Amino acid sequence: MLKILIHRVVASFFILFILWISFFPEPLQIRYKDTTFFILLSLLFLSFLKNGFDPRRYFFQKRDLFIWLYLVLISFNLWFAQDKKLAMGFYKDLSVVVIALYFLIKNELRFEEIKSMMRVLAISAGLISLFGLWEMVSGTNIIYEKYIGNVFYSRFIGNRMMATLIHPNILGSYLISCFPLAYYFFKDERLKRCRWINMPILILISIGAILTFSRGTWIAFILMVSLWGLLRKRWKPVVFIWIAFFIFIMAANQPLSNLNKSIRYRFNIGTLINYTKYSHRTTQYLVTSNMLREHPLAGIGLNHYRMLFDKYSARKFSYEVMIPDSVYLMHLAETGLLGFCGLVIILIVVLRRGFNRLRTLNANERNLFFAILIGFIGLLFSMAFFDGFLWKTPLYLFWVFITILSDVIKTN
């Protein structure tokens, strides 16, 4: 009876966890980070007891070694970091997230519970997009106006959607990760009335991703849909999305375009060329290269990029942009080649296992698993354009997807 109770508590927690990371903005997630970690670790301990208190079976099966290898490889930077306390704090938080999410999901959740979790994620994304649509139409967001500070608010309100995730880039990465799930639940429903319920969710997520007007989100979304079409041999969606993209770019470059001025500016070809040459993003590549040249193996230390930015940059920038707008650049600079190899190993193992697992599942399971896999790849694409591990929602989603795709979830 106690085992059943613990299992149900963990399964219920993950539904609430999805709602937490979807509807509660980053400042709240940071404020209650320790509470979240305490709950995760408490549930992990209860699950460990429930499953026989056997460390080898629970934590150290052969299929789990890639997780431990990653944590070991990124830990080498702790010995060489200039501010060891700063690096250790970031490493501790990351380790709690990785270990708790991976082993709780692996040891407690089964396929049907994963399906329920993903359904909640897709519905949440649709509701957030609906809220974001009202934000764009009304030109106001009550959350940031009255309850939670948002330094980006005055810059983006009415021009780029933020909804509950405080920044268009973060919202965009979240929505494109959820888009394949929404499509799966739309196609999976056999009852027409249920399909009519799921269709608005799919449409809202699509609109939300577009209205972030995040170039990284758009590129990631186009690449994700193109990959989906390539793997499923469905070319019409691929052709449609590329044609729509080029039509928009042409419209944005017309001098008499009715598009919002700031949006037209973001997608103007001349502006993009200048942005590529002279913006902070170009400097970030140079800064990362300089950091890596001086600290090739172990990197400069976790959470040190901003602290050491001026040392490696020939130009001065505001605090906001003194960070690599790419999770991959961040790993290279802060954890060196060792840590970056750990990340590459994680991705190779998970993607290989994910595609191999597709061959062993029945049709219903395979379609959901494929949607999760494509959503994860979309998240990987989007993380090339922002520092994903510094934001709670994409970080948590990343490790949830990692566990599901790494072939440790039982299907019955």
* 92-104 burial: b if 16+ Cβ within 10 Å, else e: ebbebbbbbbbbb
Q: How confident is the model over 124-142, as pLDDT tens digits?
A: 999 999 999 999 999 999 9
- CA-closest candidate to residue 64, choices 93, 96, 111, 106: 106
Among 196, 150, 201, which Cα is nearest to 175's? 201
pLDDT of residue 244: 86
Nearest to 371 by CA among 358, 385, 383, 381: 358
> Could you tell me which of 346, 278, 344, 289 has the C-alpha nearest to residue 313?
289
46-50, 55-59, 311-315: least confident range: 311-315
Report residue 92 as tokens. Answer: 């501790």
What does the pLDDT read at residue 67?
96
Query: Would you state the structure tokens that stand for residue 239, as one six-digit string?
Result: 């052709």
Residue with tokens 């219920």: 12
Question: Is the pLDDT assigned to residue 254 strictly greater than 90?
Answer: no
**Whether the predicted pLDDT of 70 surpasses 90:** yes
Highest mean pLDDT (candidates 2-6, 35-39, 359-363): 35-39
What percent of the chain is modeled with pLDDT above 70? 92
Q: Tell me the longest C-alpha to C-alpha distance in the chain.
A: 70
Kindly state the DSSP code that residue 331 receives in the 8-state scheme. Answer: H
Alpha carbon 185 to its chain centroid, in Å, reads 20
pLDDT class of 238 with cuts at 50, 70, 90: confident
3-state helix, strand, coil in the chain (%, to 5): 80, 0, 20
State the pLDDT confidence band at 102, using cuts at 50, 70 and 90: very high
C-alpha pair distances (Å), 79 with each of 73, 82, 228, 329:
12, 9, 42, 20
Res 256 pLDDT > 80 = no
Full-model pTM: 0.94
Rounded CA-CA distance 195/184 in Å is 11
Phi, psi (rounded to 5 degrees) for 411: -95, 0
DSSP 145: I
Given a cut of 90, is residue 272 above it in pLDDT? no
Joined tokens for residue 339: 């840590």
CA distance 43 to 37: 10
Q: Is the pLDDT of residue 345 over 80?
A: yes
